[in-house]
Amino acid sequence: MLKLYNSFSLSKEDFVPFEKNLVKIFICGPTVYDYAHIGHARIFLTYDLLSRFLVDQGLQTDVLVNLTDINQNVFNKARENSTTYKDVAKFYTSAFENDLQSLGVQSVNRLAYVSDYVSQIEHEVKKLVEKGAAYMAHGNVYLDVSQVKNYGKISQQTASQLNLHRLDIGPGKKNPEDIMLWNCTDDFDFSWKSEFGYGIPWWHMQDTAVAFENFSKNYDIHGGARELLYPHHEAHLAQYQLLSESEVPVKSWVHVGLVFSGGEKMSKSLGNVVWIKDLVGKHGSNLIRLYIFSKHYRDDMEFSEKDMLAKKQLLDLIYLTGMQASDVTHQEISNLICYIIAALQDDLDSPTALARLEELCAEVKNGKSISKTDFNRLREIFGIKA
């Protein structure tokens, strides 16, 4: 049985989806105003590996990714290019889809622009106000986090720690850590008419609405970078709990570590951004996948092209194994396949799984047989193109 580390319980748990054979996964998607980089690649490759493994284990997956197009960065880009936010979003969404495809990410089956959900967001914010969990203050709408049971649990903060945050500053807030749901005070290039006034639905609420409208009362896995834990995921969980009237609307919170470049977080101003399109063009998806999977998904990693190139040896061994595959699998090879599966069942321990795969390939090189079926099964799990 698959065990996954759940950021909510801080432990590895047996993973049992709400529905017997279907795993619903929501991944916090990109803000579509620029190309995607290696940090994004790691996120989508991790959930792709997880999805492929779930399929291998006889389950189906339904993977939803939101596309943030209501955002100041998108609006700025639209202004710079004398176009609309929609055109900016479409352009970078198309680039993002190309990136996913070139990386061999097949698992994402739904992409959703948050701007297609504005009326639903308005409706849900209204519901939160009616429940007494949200309030209006000087035109803005806020979530009253003091109304939310267990608020702070996922980011492991006590009430007094939460109280130190000064989020979404505006007059009339009840608690400094209250989360904005709808912003009617700031000036934006684009805004939406709502019963709260002209403004924009705020970030956290956008994702909540996309997930709630697609998955309804619950879903199995919420994914994204670990840096999204607070306030984004804390807010999302609180909103979802209130809307779904369920304490545990999400089974498992699975967070991916960060990717640094040159010892720092990637940023255009530092000039250390590694773009997916450049990397795939230069090295192909197989090498990138082996490199990303050689680190445990929960650990942070420093991008190193040299380390990535060092995976070429394993990749060549895998190709050789493919060429040597026959009709039967030797018992020792079967055992190694079991070890690979066991490693992946243990919180997707891909570094151990790849080490076992390397052993397996070396054994095949030395004459032990693997069947084409078994080889293709492994290739499919790791998403290695022929």
Nearer residue to Zn ion within complex by CB, 207 or 347: 207
| Other Cβ atoms within 10 Å of 24 Cβ, number | 23
SS3 265: strand
Q: Which stretch binds Zn ion (CB under 5 A): 182-190, 203-211, 309-317, 325-333?
A: 203-211
Q: Which residue, 28 or 360, is less far from Zn ion as judged by CB?
A: 28
> What is the nearest approach in angstroms of Zn ion to the Cβ of residue 108?
15
Both tokens of 381, joined, read 């799990």
Segment contacting Zn ion (CB under 5 A): 157-165, 169-177, 207-215, 237-245?
A: 207-215
Say how many residues touch Zn ion, by CB under 5 A. Answer: 2
How many alpha carbons lie under 13 Å from residue 206 in its C-beta half-sphere? 22
Q: How far is the CB of 74 from Zn ion (least distance, A)?
A: 15
For residue 213 the two structure tokens come to 């409208």
Long-range CB contact pairs, 158-167, < 8 A, 24+: 165/231, 167/231
Closest approach of Cβ 228 to Zn ion, in Å?
Answer: 6
Shortest approach of Zn ion to residue 324 CB, angstroms? 45
CB of 12 to Zn ion, least distance (A): 24
* Cβ proximity to Zn ion, 100 vs 287, nearer residue: 100
Closest approach of Zn ion to the CB of residue 14, in Å: 26
Closest CB to Zn ion among 99 and 207?
207
70 belongs to the binding site for Zn ion (CB under 5 A) = no
User: What residues between 22 and 51 interact with Zn ion by CB under 5 A?
Assistant: 28
Q: Which stretch binds Zn ion (CB under 5 A): 119-127, 201-209, 304-312, 316-324?
A: 201-209
Q: Which residues of 335-353 are buried (b: 16+ CB within 10 A; e: fewer)?
A: ebbebbbebbbebbbbeeb
Given the complex with Zn ion, which of 28 and 50 has the nearer CB atom? 28
Q: What are the residues whose beta carbons fall under 8 Å from the beta carbon of 195, sequence distance 6 or more?
A: 122, 126
Element (H, E) at 91: helix 85-102
Q: What would the two tokens of residue 191 be?
A: 């805004």
- The residue of the chain with the least Cβ separation from Zn ion equals 28
Residue 367's CB: how many other CB atoms inside 10 A?
8
What is the C-alpha separation between 97 and 306, in angstroms, rounded?
Answer: 27
**Identified binder of Zn ion from the candidate list 177, 178, 207, 363, rule CB under 5 A:** 207
Q: Which residues bind Zn ion (CB under 5 A)?
A: 28, 207
